Amino acid sequence: MTFDELYQRAKAVINPRRLSEMAEAGGVGAALLAEDGMVYTGVCIDTACSMGFCAEHAAAATMVTAGGSRVLKMIAVDWDGGILPPCGRCREFISQLHTDNLDAEVMVAENTVLPLRELLPYDWKK
């Protein structure tokens, strides 16, 4: 699967909306290509007290629920279509789900793909 296809999958789940006075969702979509060949998607949930989570977390949770843990490729897209690099929390979270996830290809900007390990210099787990 190409990053163009993953981009389209991530963009397709974007649906910005207010859930309540204190929560919004869907402004960012993510798509993960897992080792089993499945693509898992998710959206961000933003809450007033910062207890929400990123789209990458939602996609990874769906993957784990389905029995997987190994990510081959990942991308996140905002509502304007811009590619977003994963935040530090997402980088660390994905890296801990499977040892080989440090080799996952991450699109961090248009035409820029890096292995997750390059986004986690000085990894504390070593």
Residue 43's closest CA among 17, 20, 14, 63?
14
Half-sphere exposure of 115 (CA within 13 A, CB side): 7
> What's this model's pTM, rounded to 2 decimal places?
0.94
Q: What are phi and psi of 42, to 5 degrees?
A: -165, 165
* Confidence label for 5 from pLDDT (cuts 50, 70 and 90): very high
CATH of domain 3-119: 3.40.140.10
How many angstroms separate the CA atoms of 55 and 14, rounded?
10
26-78 pLDDT, tens digit each: 999 999 999 999 999 999 999 999 899 999 999 999 999 999 999 999 999 99
Token pair 């080989």 in the structure block, residue? 100
Q: Which residues are catalytic?
A: 56
State both tokens at 54. 């990123």
Q: Say if residue 123's pLDDT is above 90.
A: no
How many angstroms separate the CA atoms of 45 and 118, rounded?
27
Residue 62's closest CA among 84, 102, 34?
34
Question: Would you give the DSSP letter of residue 77?
Answer: E
Residue 53's closest CA among 90, 17, 88, 20?
90
